[in-house]
Amino acid sequence: MLRRPLATETNEDFSEPILPGKGASDYERYLRTDDLLALQKSPEEQVHPDELLFQTVHQSSELWLKLGTSEVARATAHLRAGELAAALRLLGRAALCLQFTTRQLDMLERMSPWEYQTVRRVLGHGSGFDSPGFREVRRVTPPLGEAFEAAVAQEGLDLVEVYVQGRDHEELYQLAEALVEWDERITMWRIRHYKVVARIIGDQVVGTQGTPVEVLGKMIHHNFFPALWRARNQLTARAKDEEG
């Protein structure tokens, strides 16, 4: 019987890339690092060195939002197919994406408010309102809520009963909490964004797109799933009624 040679006995040169594309290694070719690292301004193009910080934060935010909203869209498809456990796993990942997006806003607060004014001059009419990731959040979130409501109705329940009978409908309960977390993470991201903007340029000024900063503050109070938040009030009222 012939013995299959071990990988270490072959003549393959593992230092040479085998994937197609640009890059000196398969790592660089698979991740397209040449293209990725060329997306930021070079030092010669920058009006201030902090442009690299500003672009890095925003570009990486778009990547996390791309992943997060993709997971929400996939979770919605699983929900519609009755695959609740699969939807739960993906929503957990989506929530983490929003956490990472929110956390890295801390980096922007390491910029000098005065030096940022130099960077601001080259942003044109660029605004967070034009973020592709933010637009995707607004696009994929309502269908998720509709799919969840359909799953609840299919069991002959309402949202309050999902919580009251949580032990008998564990996956629906966990999904309700996953939607609340996604909604809450969006709000926390908006809060941090508003506070970062206020800290850097002020809270009584007009942004790069002609929008007053105070408009960002008003958006903090928007919920995508108001019925899930109202359910908390209804549960508290029900508990008081039962006590009486």
The domain that holds 93 is classified in CATH as: 1.20.58.480
7 in a domain, yes or no? no
| Average model confidence (pLDDT) across the chain | 90
Predicted structure pTM score: 0.88
Compute the distance between CA of residue 49 and CA of residue 51 in angstroms, rounded to an integer.
5
Query: Residue 64: what pLDDT?
Result: 98
Lowest-pLDDT choice from 86-90, 140-144, 163-167: 163-167
Q: Compute the average pLDDT of residues 175-186.
A: 98
In this prediction, residue 232 has a pLDDT band, given cuts at 50, 70 and 90, of: very high
Q: Compute the average pLDDT of residues 83-95.
A: 98
Q: Within the chain, where are the H helices?
A: 26-31, 33-36, 50-80, 84-103, 113-120, 132-154, 159-164, 170-201, 213-219, 226-243
Residue 166 confidence (pLDDT) above 90:
no
Query: Residue 10: what pLDDT?
Result: 63
Q: Let me know whether 116 and 179 are in one domain.
A: yes
Query: Residue 203: what pLDDT?
Result: 77
Q: Let me know whether 239 and 135 are in one domain.
A: yes
In this prediction, residue 112 has a pLDDT band, given cuts at 50, 70 and 90, of: very high
201 in a domain, yes or no? yes
- Quote the number of domains for the chain: 2
3 in a domain, yes or no? no
Look up the domain containing 27 and give its range.
Answer: 15-45
Q: Compute the average pLDDT of residues 193-220.
A: 74
Highest mean pLDDT: which of 144-148, 161-165, 216-220?
Answer: 144-148
9 in a domain, yes or no? no
Q: Let me know whether 34 and 155 are in one domain.
A: no
Q: Let me know whether 61 and 114 are in one domain.
A: yes
Query: Residue 167: what pLDDT?
Result: 84
For the chain, percent of residues with pLDDT exceeding 70: 91
Q: Let me know whether 219 and 114 are in one domain.
A: yes
Q: Let me know whether 160 and 236 are in one domain.
A: yes
Q: Let me know whether 113 and 27 are in one domain.
A: no
Q: Compute the average pLDDT of residues 1-17.
A: 65
Q: Compute the average pLDDT of residues 57-68.
A: 97
Dihedral, CA of residue 165, residue 169, residue 174 and residue 177, to nearest 10 = -40
Give the phi and the psi of residue 212 in degrees, each rounded to 5. -60, 140
Strand partners, 212: 206
Q: Let me know whether 81 and 162 are in one domain.
A: yes
Q: Compute the average pLDDT of residues 181-200.
A: 93
4 in a domain, yes or no? no
71 in a domain, yes or no? yes
Q: Let me know whether 110 and 37 are in one domain.
A: no
Residue 201 confidence (pLDDT) above 90:
no
